[in-house]
Structure 1
Amino acid sequence: MEENKTTPPELELDNLRAIKVLGKGATGTVFLVHDKSRDLPFALKVVEKSSSHHADRRAIHEISVLRRLSAAVPHPFLPYLIGSFENPEFICWAIPYCPGGDLNVLRYRQNDHVFSPAVIRFYLAEIICALEYLHERGIVYRDLKPENILVQQSGHVTLTDFDLSRDLIPRKTGNRCFSSDYEEVNPVKQTPQKRKFPRFVLPKRGNHPFHNKKGSKKTKNARVSPLSRRNHIEFPTNERSNSFVGTEEYVSPEVIRGDGHEFSVDWWALGVLCYEMLYGKTPFKGKNRKETFSKILLAEPEYIGKPSAVTDMIGKLLEKDPTRRLGYLHGTCEIKEHEFFDGLRWDLLTEVLRPPFVPSTDETDGRIDIREYFQRLKLPPSPLWSPSREECRHNVSLTEF
C-alpha cells in the first residue's frame, strides 16, 4: 500500500471560522468550518475536556483511528483526518464535510420512509466495502447505524464516528475475495470515466425515490454506555472484546449475553440496517430497553410479503449464533457472493457518478465563535440570549463523527 508521507497538520483554533452547528453527538459537537488557509469546508468535531473523562478518552481513540485510516491514500467510503488540535479546553479534529446528511434523514424523505431494494443494494455495497477495509486492518466498527452513514457531495456514502471501534486481531477466515484497489481512488478529486447509476440499481426517473421533497425526521439515538459489563480490562489488541457498546436496537445477541464478540457484530448490525432500510423500522424494537434486548435474544425478524433475496440475506445476517452468521466463515466474500448482489460490479462502485441521491452544496453563511458557543451552554437562558434549535437538540447524531 502506498503510504501518505504527509502528517495531518495541527489546526489553529483561532484561524477557524465556524459557520454553523451540524449536530451534537454522544461525545461532542460538530461544526461546519472554514479555515482561512483552506478553500474547502470541513467538519470539525469539538469535545470539551471538562465534559467527561470517557469523552476525552474516546476522542483520543477516534483521532488515533482516523490517523491510521489517513496513513495511506484515503478509502473512498471512509473519512480521513484533515487535522487535529488540543489545548486545555478542547480536543478538536477535522474530517471532510458531507453535505448530504445521513441515511436516516434520507430515508424519511421517501414517501413510505423506505428505500427500494435496488437503492438498498447500492448503499449496502459501499458500506460492505468500507467494513471490509476496516476488518482487514483489525478494526471492528461496532456502531453501524443510519445516523453514522453520511452522504458525500458525490452521492457516495462514508462511515463516520469511530469512538466505539476496537482493535482486534483479525481471525483467519479463508476469505476468497480480494479487495478492490481503492488506494488509487482519491475521494476529494475523482476524474473517472462517466458512469451513470446502473439500471439494475436505479429506478426510472419518474419513480425515483429521492424526488420526494418532504421533510426529514430524526430518531432518538439510544446509545449503550461503552462500559464493560463484567469489569473486564480491555487490552490494546485481542481476538475478542467483552465491552458492552453499541446502539440499543443494533446491539448483537453476543454483546447482550456478554459472551465476548468480534467482527461478526458488524454483520449483525448490517442485517438490522438492511431491515430498517427495507421496512422503515428496526426488527427488534421493544417498548423499553429490556424488551428490546429480550427480542434481540429470542425473537425472529418478521417479514412482509413474499420471501426474496434481500429477506434471505437479512435472515442470514441476523443469525443469533455469530459462528453461523453470514460473513463469519469466509469474511466479506461470503456476503458479496449472496444472490442479492448478483450482477453487481464491485470494482465499478467508485466510478458511479449518478448515485441515487446527489446533494446540493448548502453552506449557510454565518460565523460562530466556538469558545463562546460552549460558554453559552453553561449559562441559563436570558432575554439577551436564547439557544438555537441546534443547541437545544439532544440525542441527535445528524452528522455525528
Structure 2
Amino acid sequence: MSAIALPPPARRYDLDWIRVGAFMLLILYHVGMFYVPWDWHVKSTHQVEALEPVMLLTNPWRLTLLFLISGCATRFMADSFRARGRGNATLAGSRILRLLPPLLLGMFVIVPPQSYYEIVEALRGMGVADPANSMVLANFWTRYATASGNWCDVNGCLITPTWNHLWFVAYLLIYSLVLALLLAIPGVRRGLQAVADTAFRGWGLMLWPVAWLVLIRWTLAPLFEINHALIADWYNHALSFAAFLFGYLTARSEPARQTFMRLRWPALIAAVLAWAAWATYAWIYRAEDAAPAEALRMAMRIVYAADQWAWIAAILGFGARWLNHGGPVLRYLTVGVFPFYIVHQTAIVVAGHHLAGLRLPAGVEASLLIAITAAACWMAYEVARRIGWLGLLLGVRPERPSPLAEPQAANRPPLSA
C-alpha cells in the first residue's frame, strides 16, 4: 500500500473544524474590508489604517486553505462513489447539483445589492445628492441582469452580472469537473497518486508546496493579476487548483497527517516570522507610488510563499492534533457555513452602507455590523434547512431523518462547499 493512500481515521473531524474556521475567518475578513483603506464595494467613515497588518495575517492563505480542504472533501466523496460502483460522472453530477444552484441564485439575487450600493456610494462621491433616485440606477436589476448598465467611471466599468465573492464557488465547480475528467482517463488516478506518494513524504510536505508557490509567484503573479473572472486568471488557477489537487491527493494519508502534526511547531514559528516580514514590507511600501527595489520584490515573493504554506501546514498540524472530536455544534456548522458564506457579503455591504449613514462611534458600528451579519447568516441557514430541495439554492441538501442517523454520521466524509 502506498505511503499516501493509507486509510485515515473513520472521520476527519479536524478537516470539518478547519473548514468551519476558515469560512468564519473569511467572513470577519470581509467585515474588516469595510474599515481598511483598501478599495471595496462600500466603506465606513471610520478608516482604520492600523488594521492592515491584521488583515495581512490571513490574506495570503485563507482561500488557498479552503481550496485545499475542498479537495480533501472531494477525495472522500469520490472514494465513496467509487466504493458504491459509481463513476466519475456521479462525482461531476454531485458537484453540479451542490454548487451550480447557489452560484446562479447568488449572481442574480444575492449579489446584485452589492453592485447597487457600490454604485450608490460612487455616485455620492461624485456629488449626486440622491443617488437612489437618479437615472443611473433606473431599472437597476434588469440592466444588471442584461449587462446593459453602462456603469462606468474613471476607474473603469462595473461588469454585470457578476459573482463577486462567489468566485470561490464558480472556481470550485470548474476544478471539480476538471478533476472528474482527469480521473476518467485511464492511468491518471494511479499516476497522480504515485507522484504524491513520492513527493509528499516528511519534509517534502513543506518543501515542495513552498517551491511551487515561489515558482508561480516569480513567474505568473507579475504577468497575471488576480481578477476572479475565470479568464486570464492564470496565477490564481495555478495557486488554487494546485491546493485543491493537493487536498485530493493527501486527504486519505495517515503519514501526511502525522507529519503535519510533527511539524506543527516549526511551521507555526516560520508562519509568524514570515507574516511579520511580509506585513512590515507591505506597511513600509503601502503608498500607491512606492517603488521597492526589484531584488527586494523577488525576495519578498519567497517570504510571501513561505507565509502561505507555513500557516496552512501549521493549521493542518494543530487541527490534526487537537480537533479530532465532533458534537452538535460541529454538525450544525459543517452544513451551515456554506449558506453563511453565500449571504454574508451582501449582508455586510447592505448593513454597512446604512450603518455608515448613522455616524455611530466606530466600536458601536462594528459591533452592530458583525451582529447583523451573523443574524442574516443564521436566518438564511435556518430557512434553507426547512424548505426541502429548494435549500440547494443556498447549498443545503434536504435532511433525511433516520433512527441510524447518528452512527452513520461518524463515517460520512467531510462536507464541503
Higher RCO structure, 1 or 2 (CA under 8 Å, sep 6+): 2
TM-score normalized by the length of structure 2: 0.25
Name the structure where strand makes up a greater proportion of residues: 1
**Greater Rg by CA:** 2
Name the structure where helix makes up a greater proportion of residues: 2
